């Protein structure tokens, strides 16, 4: 490996040209030293496009340099503030399609900022094995932040074909994401979900209060597996209790599989050099052909709102993008196709302190069509959408809405039904 440069002397402006398309690592794999240097050097760089993933840092802010034109595959994490401020342009793509788009040059990158670990077995992607690696294979310039606090993870060696222009020493440890605080609503939803999950199921789950509450409620289960877009500290808790063993997966037996690790130092230390945790590309974690082969694969995802027919919106609220497509469609379709699998959507029944129903007559955007939904869960119960008509779906959705909104929802459905006659 070429010498590792000090961040204090590294001149990022020497590697970036006006008009460049820059792709930066996302989530906990954001190369903080490089992204902060990019923001600081923005006046000397000129106008560039910066493609972000899910944000967990405060590097890119609504009041940041205007010559950094920001886009992302969703307004997720700290990107919500950028979207609300009109600073973020959203690319509405399936998360799993991004790596292929960069590999096939449908999306292009001039400069890639990536976080790596120099480990015992060479360079490791560490915390995320995502589209950034594919973007790096075709970029003019790749700048790698080498961070000794990143775990060397199984399944994520730096791919062949990436030429790195400069290695820069990290000035700080990687981003950490704490587990969510669990309020009463989240705990009630988690209890409903736990009752739906059988022993020996393999789970896909996201981040946030509802996924955390679900995992927290699974302490009495046995021999669960994880095949997911993310793994978190709550997953680590279940591994420690012997609940997650991955023993009964048809492949990757004994191994927790994720595309990204999002957690704290505790999770990173556990994954470091541990063959029982693999960080794999989306061609394995999100692929329909892989997912449909997993017995009892349960895909559990959240949403902004769900309508009376079961259509799911995970993107828009109040005319503003505050979410994204992500892996929702990939995992839901995999869950429906898997033997004994399920596609589950879980969400609180209300927002804005109980003043807004998240069960609605019609969603603002259709991220997941109703034909791909098995079960919808709120704190008020479970709506089983399998093998029932639209009218029956509406009845079941109204039953899990907040009681304060049920009468209005029923009236909307009656009015819509009478208008069709």
Cβ neighbours, 10 Å, residue 174? 26
Rounded CA-CA distance 41/245 in Å is 47
How high is the pLDDT of residue 2?
65
Low-confidence ranges of the chain (pLDDT < 50): 421
How high is the pLDDT of residue 421?
47
Q: Write the DSSP assignment of 203-257 as a string of letters.
A: EEE-SSHHHHHHHHTTTT--SBEEEEEEE-HHHHHHHHTT-B--TT-SSSTT-EE
How high is the pLDDT of residue 417?
81
Predicted confidence (pLDDT) per residue in 226-282, tens digit: 999 999 999 999 999 999 999 999 999 999 999 999 999 999 999 999 999 999 999
Angle 218-96-30 from CA coordinates, rounded to 5°: 80
Query: pTM of the prediction?
Result: 0.96
Domains of the chain: residue spans and CATH = 4-169 (3.40.1080.10), 184-420 (3.40.1080.20)
Rounded alpha-carbon distances, angstroms, from residue 353 to 181, 358, 407, 417? 17, 12, 19, 31
How high is the pLDDT of residue 420?
60
Predicted confidence (pLDDT) per residue in 1-31, tens digit: 567 888 888 999 999 999 999 999 999 999 9
């Amino acid at each position: 490996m070429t010498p590792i440069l000090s961040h204090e002397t590294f001149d990022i402006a020497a590697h970036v040209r006006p008009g460049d398309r820059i792709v930066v690592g996302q989530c906990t794999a954001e190369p903080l030293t490089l992204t902060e240097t990019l923001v600081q050097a923005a006046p000397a760089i000129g106008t560039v496009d910066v493609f972000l993933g899910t944000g967990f840092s405060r590097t890119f802010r609504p009041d940041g340099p205007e010559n950094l034109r920001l886009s992302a595959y969703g307004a997720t994490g700290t990107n919500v503030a950028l979207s609300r401020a009109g600073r973020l342009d959203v690319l509405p793509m399936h998360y799993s399609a991004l790596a292929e788009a960069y590999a096939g040059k449908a999306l292009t990158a001039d400069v890639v900022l990536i976080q790596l670990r120099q480990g015992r077995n060479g360079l490791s992607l560490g915390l995320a094995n995502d589209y950034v690696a594919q973007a790096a294979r075709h970029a003019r310039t790749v700048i790698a932040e080498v961070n000794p606090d990143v775990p060397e993870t199984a399944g994520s060696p730096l791919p062949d074909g990436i030429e790195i222009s400069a290695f820069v020493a990290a000035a700080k440890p990687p981003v950490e994401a704490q587990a969510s605080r669990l309020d009463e609503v989240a705990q009630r939803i988690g209890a409903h979900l736990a009752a739906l999950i059988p022993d020996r199921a393999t789970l896909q789950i996201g981040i946030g209060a509802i996924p955390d509450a679900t995992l927290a409620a699974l302490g009495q289960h046995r021999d669960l597996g994880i095949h997911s877009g993310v793994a978190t500290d709550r997953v680590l808790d279940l591994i420690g209790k012997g609940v997650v063993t991955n023993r009964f997966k048809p492949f990757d037996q004994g191994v927790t599989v994720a595309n990204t690790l999002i957690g704290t130092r505790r999770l990173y230390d556990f994954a470091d050099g541990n063959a029982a945790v693999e960080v794999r590309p989306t061609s394995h974690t999100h692929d329909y052909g892989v997912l449909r082969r997993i017995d009892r694969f349960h895909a559990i995802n959240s949403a902004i709102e769900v309508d009376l027919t079961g259509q799911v919106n995970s993107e828009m609220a109040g005319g503003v993008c505050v979410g994204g497509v992500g892996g929702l469609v990939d995992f839901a379709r995999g869950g429906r196709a898997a033997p004994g699998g399920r596609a589950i959507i879980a969400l609180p029944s209300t927002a804005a302190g109980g003043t807004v129903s998240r069960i609605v007559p019609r969603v603002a955007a259709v991220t997941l069509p109703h034909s791909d939904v098995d079960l919808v869960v709120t704190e008020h119960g479970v709506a089983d959408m399998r093998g029932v008509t639209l009218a029956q779906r509406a009845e079941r959705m109204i039953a899990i809405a907040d009681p304060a909104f049920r009468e209005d929802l029923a009236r909307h459905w009656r009015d819509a039904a009478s208008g069709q006659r």
